[in-house]
Structure 1
Amino acid sequence: MGLTWDLIRWALLVIVIINEVAALVTVFREKRDIAATWAWLMVLMIPVIGFIIYAFLGRKLPQKRLERISSPTAQHLYDAFEEQRTAFVEMPRPEDSLVQTYRRTIMLFQSIDESFLSEDNQVEIFTTGITFFNRLLTDIEQAKQSIHIEFYTIYNDQIGNRLRTLLEQKAAAGVEVRVLYDSWGSMGVKKSFYDNLRKNGGFASPFLMTHSNFLDFRLNYRDHRKIVVIDGQIGYVGGFNVGDQYLGRLKKFGPWRDTHLRIQGGGVYSLQQCFLRDWNASVKPAERLTHFKDYFPSAALNKGKTAMQIVSSGPDAPLQAIKLGYLRLINAAQDHIWIQTPYLIPDDSVIDALRIAAHSGVDVRIMIPSMPDHAFVYRATQYYARALANEGVTIYSYQLGFLHAKTMTIDGKMASVGSANLDFRSFQLNFEINAFLYDRQLVDELEQIFINDVRDSRVITPEMFDAQPLGLRFKQTFSRLLSPIL
């Protein structure tokens, strides 16, 4: 008996040693952010189970898939980019114009994301699911040529079926309909959900052809973008997905607070460009789009006066464009920075930027939800909210329902609205897209929305954080350790 136990102990010791060596080799084999490296190392130290978790969540996307995004499609779409960038640098502008004020920010996005500047946009803001979906479905119903849709989540529920039925009708009427969705975000929706759309002449595909979440074994890299382009003239971008919860129909979340934009003008070209690139990377050669000029009608121009850049980011790009944009905005602030985000899990560079701004006298306010939709993520959000509150940042907890908006406004002059949260996942793992806006009137509207939301929020002070139970604070600290991989 004693010999048996000795053999078991030796066997367990050998397993632990092999596991730790394998963990070191595995985690350092791929280039990662140092925080993510240590977080994964901690997970992999759990024998067997750690490697199972890593198999699904830790491995990076294959290079061949990423190369499909950086394809000849993208090169073709960017043919005119250098001409515009040169013209922007050389074009004289009034010193008091916002485009001149944020000239360096615009040049940053042109350099790191080849993002076009358009100055002719008409923008409408939506903050409730009812108004957003009513307008979206009306625009789709009136489409005459093409409907391009890309969402992280399209659920098989009441609003999801309503959208699908409308798309089937439009496809049957001869309108080109293409739907791109994330297989993980739309979990539970089978491929057959779109069979009737396909029968009517439409198309639907999971992003990067990821048909099975479990066979794919790479759950961590998701298409989190929300893009709709109708006839190449109307575009949508923001935080809403397609599901009943976004209409406030789930008791768990209550009224859903989000922010989404409807765009007419040159900004639609950039949304269309991103969709076409993602579509061609996700489908078989026979379904790829090649006649790009058909999707960029000149009638989309000259609709308004809002200047904007559409900026995308993802693991296919060498630089974290949206995060760098956030940093540029924070560092440029002179008076105030107002942020809404459901997930507050910033990396050290963003924390330092917010800390510097707050200690420099800039009014920094961050609004987060008062309820979780993901337990670990919410506890990590609370940890960082407490840390920033101790640095002089005002933290609001939105009480009316679930806050899902991803907005940032700077000095009443510039703003960002899109799909990207203020967290590691949006910076490093997800495919995201944001609109960066240069328009005092539009930014004032966004800031009025923030002020209205403050009325439905309460301030969480450092003293209130300190009074939290020890067990809750432990959960927050533990969740923070895993934050680079949440």
Structure 2
Amino acid sequence: MKYIVKFLFHRVCFLILAVLIQIFVLLSVIIKFYDYFAYFYGASILISIVVILLILNNKSNPVYKIAWIIPILVFPIFGGLFYVFLGANKLSKRMRLRMKSIVDKTKAALKPKPHILDEMKAYNEIAATQSKYIQDYAYYPPYCNSFSEYLSIGELKFERLKAELKKAEKFIFLEYFIIEEGVMWNSILDILKQKAEEGVDVRVIYDDAGCIFKLPYGYDKKLESMGIKCRVFNPLVPLLSTRINNRDHRKIAIIDGHTGFTGGINLADEYINEYEKFGHWKDSAIMIKGEAVWSMTVMFLSMWDYLEGINEDFNKFKPEMEPLEESCKDGYVQPFADSPLDDETVGEIVYLNLINKARKYVYITTPYLIIDNEIITALTSAAKGGVDVRIITPYWGDKWYVHEVTRSYYRTLIESGVKIYEYTPGFIHSKTFVVDDEYGVVGTINMDYRSLFLHFECGVWMYKCRTIKDIKKDFTDTLKMCQEITIEDLNQITWYRKLVRMILRIFAPLM
């Protein structure tokens, strides 16, 4: 009973209520002016036709277009209006100007490194081409004066993060999709409060949608009262709005500009298996030390400035770095970010480049395998060409309908030679690529439409790093705890479950 009462007074309930009131008012207007309904219906049809034409001619993914066109055709009265409110990915003129200024500052702060690309090209022209794409289109250059450490489980990242936070002397920047009060966050918060009292510049960004059931309303004010600067990304408002589509899905921690973390691990107890949620929670992260952390610092500051509407001098947060004893002693490291507010799908193209250029193997871990035709074609073509393509997904899904859609892609992939494995102990939230013992990516980017097209994301692309062996070892070790999915397994699925998957898959891009 207390949970029901708690939900009824939760702001989510008020948000839902506000939207229902808006719908009720609209219906009331239609009923009141029923005599003019024919005109309203005609206008709605016209709006839906215009919207469909706009969808067909925009630059979004074709499958995303189909996912919107179907409900518009089925519900022509409200379908077009619904897309106008929720489907489009647009910014006001003022916000576009602000975003452009942030992009310009990012480009100014992150100078291209053609000498590193030339050095990389001497080893491998294909690697240099992939790296150049990230530099040219995401504006994040490669580094060779850096060190990386792969953290194969949430508990390990937790301990490393606490140890590094305690060393902070100048600033701590945290940007996370989810923060939840508990053992993990409370332990970190104790360190943040202490550091803030010592005069360290502590800043926190969290996503409002990601934390809506995790943190109490106004939690940012609580952190501010502790001396911790805090901003909430894209606060939810009780209005139908396209802004709800864009979320800050990044997980970034930066200490003094010389140490950075990213990966799939949020600051909540399930990520360290403090309590069981969907079985054992398998996740991963990466720690970077050295010059490459500057890209992560700019990544955070660009978001901070976007939220604050300020023009901060990024360079005052750039530390002096002593060169490592050996040039490129740990290969090439390239942190990068992906924004949904431009026309460049950086995350997807990074993944496609890895798959398309693989010669021996591609090993992938992802919690969601909701992929478009480009990725399906790349995976199946690689497998048909003799590349060993293996993908680990969860056995226990965190959202049943999303998990059903993930499984709906199995047959197409398996029939083409891709090997699919499910992590039987529970839920795998890790987002990793490892290719040919040469390339690796660890980050926040899932293989689903929202992550690839609608969310702010980040990752670390690596070439010739020792860390890549660790990623591969973690994959092969995890494989021992997985069950391979076969065609025989798929043939045993009931017809009605297949039907549910077929229906859900139509709306996959909207999930």
What TM-score, normalized by structure 1, do the two folds share? 0.89
Letter matched to residue 76 of structure 1: K
Among residues 216, 235, 238, which one is paired with 1:214 in the alignment?
Answer: 238
Q: Would the aligned equivalents of 2:89 and 2:341 in 1 still touch at CA under 8 Å?
A: no
Name the counterpart of 1:84.
113
Unaligned stretches of 5+ residues in structure 1: 1-8
- Is 2:186 the partner of 1:161? yes
Match of 1:187 in 2: 212
Measured at CA, do residues 359 and 175 of structure 1 come closer, stay the same or move farther in structure 2, by a change above 3 Å?
same
CA distance in 1, matches of 2:365, 2:120: 32
1:298: Cα distance to partner? 1.8
Question: 1:40 pairs with 68, 77, 82, which one?
Answer: 68
Q: AA paired with 1:416?
A: V
Verify: 1:312 aligned to 2:340, yes or no.
no
Amino acid aligned to 1:364: V
Distance between the aligned counterparts of 1:268 and 1:465, measured in 2? 45
Q: C-alpha separation between the residues in 1 aligned to 2:438 and 2:42?
A: 57
Contact 1:245 1:253 in 2 (8 A): no
Are the structure 2 counterparts of residues 119 and 361 from structure 1 closer, same or farther at C-alpha, using a change threshold of 3 Å? same
Query: Which stretch of structure 1 is more off in the superposition, 141-150 or 53-62?
Result: 53-62
Q: Does 1:253 align with 2:267?
A: no
**Separation of aligned partners in 2, 1:392 and 1:449:** 23
Q: Deviations over 1:387-427 (max 9, x none)?
A: 21111100001111210011111111101110001121121
Aligned to 2:151: 126
Q: C-alpha distance in 2, partners of 1:52/1:301?
A: 57
CA contact (8 A) 1:139 1:230 kept: yes
2:271 and 2:503 map into 1 onto residues whose CA distance is: 30
Deviation for aligned residue 1:357: 0.4
Q: AA paired with 2:63?
A: A
Q: Which residue of the partner structure matches residue 99 of structure 2?
A: 69
Offset, 1:213? 4.3
Aligned-partner Cα distance in 1 for 2:192–2:360 = 46
Relative to structure 1, the CA distance from residue 185 to residue 27 in structure 2 (aligned partners, 3 Å threshold; closer, same or farther) is farther
Alignment of 1:465-484 (within 5 A): 465-484=490-509
3-state secondary structure, aligned to 2:257: coil
Measure, in 1, the Cα distance between the counterparts of 2:36 and 2:275. Answer: 50
2:433 maps to 408
Q: Is 2:269–2:275's contact at 8 Å kept on the other side of the alignment?
A: yes
Helix, strand or coil at the partner of 2:340: coil
The 1:88/1:336 distance shift into structure 2, 3 A limit, reads: same
* 1:56–1:219 Cα contact (<8 Å) kept: no
State the aligned residue count: 469
344-353 vs 294-303, which moves further: 294-303
Determine the C-alpha separation between the residues in 1 that align with 2:239 and 2:35. Answer: 35
What amino acid is the match of 1:352? T
Cα 1:164–1:53 shift into 2, 3 Å: farther
Normalised to the residue count of structure 2, the TM-score between the two structures is: 0.85
The structure 2 residue matched to 1:298, chosen from 316, 320, 323, is: 320
Pair 295,80 (structure 1): closer, same or farther in 2 beyond 3 Å: closer
**Residues 91-119 of structure 1, C-alpha deviations (whole Å, 9 max, x = no match):** 45684x35x55111111112211221101
Structure 2 counterpart of 1:238 = 263
Between the aligned partners of 1:49 and 1:250, the Cα distance in structure 2 is 43
What's the RMSD between the two structures over aligned residues?
Answer: 2.6
Could you tell me which residue of structure 1 aligns to residue 11 of structure 2? Answer: none
Structure 1 partner of 2:135: 110
Question: SS state of the match for residue 297, structure 1?
Answer: coil
* Corresponding letter in the other structure for 2:113: Q
Matched, 1:275 2:300: yes
The residue number in structure 2 matching 1:4 is none
For the residue of structure 1 that corresponds to 2:459, the secondary structure is strand
| 1:52–1:343 distance in 2 versus 1, CA, 3 Å | farther
Q: Give the Cα separation in 2 of the matches to 1:331 and 1:179.
A: 38
Contact 2:45 2:77 in 1 (8 A): no
Residue 27 of structure 1 deviates from its aligned partner by 4.5
| 2:181 partner SS | coil
Contact 2:332 2:465 in 1 (8 A): no
Asked if the contact 2:209–2:235 (Cα under 8 Å) also holds between the matched residues in 1, the reply is no
| Structure 1: distance between partners of 2:39 and 2:371 | 38
From the superposition, tell whether residues 392 and 278 of structure 1 become closer, same or farther in structure 2 (CA, over 3 Å): same
Distance change (3 Å), C-alpha of 1:159 and 1:213: farther
Look up the equivalent residue of 1:117 and give its one-letter code.
Answer: P
* Stretch of structure 1 that moved more, 416-425 or 121-130: 121-130
**Structure 2, gaps ≥5 residues long:** 1-33
Question: 1: CA distance between counterparts of 2:167 and 2:317?
Answer: 17
Contact kept in structure 1, 2:48 and 2:76, CA below 8 Å: no
Residue 180 of structure 1, CA deviation: 0.9
Asked whether the equivalents of residues 182 and 268 of structure 2 are also in contact (C-alpha less than 8 Å), the reply is yes
8 Å Cα contact 1:28-1:37 kept in structure 2: no
Q: What residue in structure 2 maps to residue 26 of structure 1?
A: 51
**What is the rounded CA distance, in whole Å, between the counterparts of 1:19 and 1:457 in structure 2?**
51
Q: Classify 1:118/1:124 alpha carbon distance in 2 versus 1 (closer, same or farther; 3 Å).
A: same
| Paired residues of 2:86 and 2:244 also in contact (CA < 8 A) | yes
Structure 2 distance, partners of 1:184, 1:406, is 21
Quote how far apart the aligned CAs of 1:216 are: 7.0
Q: Distance in 1 between matches of 2:239 and 2:168?
A: 37
